[in-house]
Amino acid sequence: MHLASLYRYPVKGLTPEPLDRAILVAGETVPFDRAWAIENGPGRFDASRPRHLPKINFLMLMRDERLATLRSKFDASSETLTILRDGKQVARGQLTTPLGRQLIEQFIAAYMKAELRGPPKIVHAPSHSFCDVAEKCVHIVNLASVRELERTLGRPVDPLRFRANLYLDGVEPWAELGWMDKDIGVGGARLAVFARTTRCEATNVDPGRGVRDMAVPAHLQRTWGHRDFGIYAKVIVGGEVAVAGSVAPPR
């Protein structure tokens, strides 16, 4: 079993950023993962008292599939986000400055006008992550399970539909669903699995074209009797993880 690929999502709902390696810290997410989100109109997020909020408060693929037609690039050294459409830059701003956020917000306001309930606002709080679950964690998907899903659907499935951080390979399909309350070693880190990922309609969106062309949760329910695909795990021992690095079996 090995780590096939590694991703972070600096801004919730926007495109993933592939990484060769990352340093995981106990009790934290992949660095910069879901560190920012875009509120859909007047929101309830208070940066001075950050707390987990349902994703319906933010722009997200489950409802706003046009986000998938954009490509974003994040520069960690300057914390600058660049947004591209059809390969051309359409917005760029430093997320740590009011002006930088305003430049991104102005583009989103125009591009996502039909989906917005009010002016969009980029939100952030130090050490907070806008994950779909309240716990700070990493999201793991087994590529063998993706291939099994492809087999039953009779068509290719882009693993990025599942927006995971860690994609594993070299283990049997669905093995990961049996890892509840067990630990796995990924590179120099150790992770404690605590929940299955129940899939929402966001997985129906083609991450390349921004169109709904599948019914993944319904197919999971019909074929296997549940809508779970992937797992959440907390980092309990920090360390470096790297693509192609080994993954120790659960214990």
Q: Summarize pLDDT for 64-73 with one digit per residue, the tens.
A: 889 999 999 9
How far is the C-alpha of 132 from the C-alpha of 110, rounded, in Å?
26
78 shares its domain with 40: yes
How many domains are there within the chain?
A: 2
Handedness of CA 176, 199, 207, 79 (dihedral sign): negative
Does pLDDT of 222 surpass 90? yes
79 shares its domain with 151: no
Mean pLDDT, rounded, of the chain: 96
220 shares its domain with 237: yes
pLDDT for position 192 = 98
Tell me the mean pLDDT in the region 205-211.
Answer: 89
Does pLDDT of 62 surpass 90? no
Return the CATH number at 241.
2.40.33.20
pLDDT for position 76 = 95
* Tokens 């300057």, residue located: 78
Tell me the mean pLDDT in the region 143-156.
Answer: 97
112 shares its domain with 195: no
167 pLDDT band, cuts 50/70/90, is very high
Instruction: Return left, alpha or beta for 4; rule: phi > 0 is left, psi -120 to 50 is alpha, else beta.
Output: alpha
Does pLDDT of 210 surpass 90? no
Nearest to 212 by CA among 107, 69, 40, 58: 69
Residue 129 counted as domain residue: no
Q: What percent of the chain is modeled with pLDDT above 90? A: 93
Residue 57 counted as domain residue: yes
Does pLDDT of 208 surpass 90? no
pLDDT for position 25 = 98
Nearest to 101 by CA among 39, 30, 57, 34: 39
Residue 74 lies in domain: 34-124
108 shares its domain with 144: no
Three-state DSSP string of the chain: CEEEEEEECCECCCCCEEECEEEECCCCCCCCCCCEEEECCCCCCCCCCCCCCCHHHECCCCCCHHHHHEEEEEECCCCEEEEEECCEEEEEEECCCHHHHHHHHHHHHHHCHHHCCCCCEEEECCCCCCCCCCCCCEEEEEHHHHHHHHHHHCCCCCHHHHCCCEEEECCCCCHHHHCCCCEEEECCEEEEEEEEEECCHHHHECCCCCCECCCHHHHHHHHHCCCEEEEEEEEEECEEEECCCEEECCC
How far is the C-alpha of 226 from the C-alpha of 228, rounded, in Å?
6
pLDDT for position 204 = 94
104 pLDDT band, cuts 50/70/90, is very high
Tell me the mean pLDDT in the region 99-128.
Answer: 96
How far is the C-alpha of 185 from the C-alpha of 205, rounded, in Å?
32
110 shares its domain with 80: yes
61 pLDDT band, cuts 50/70/90, is confident
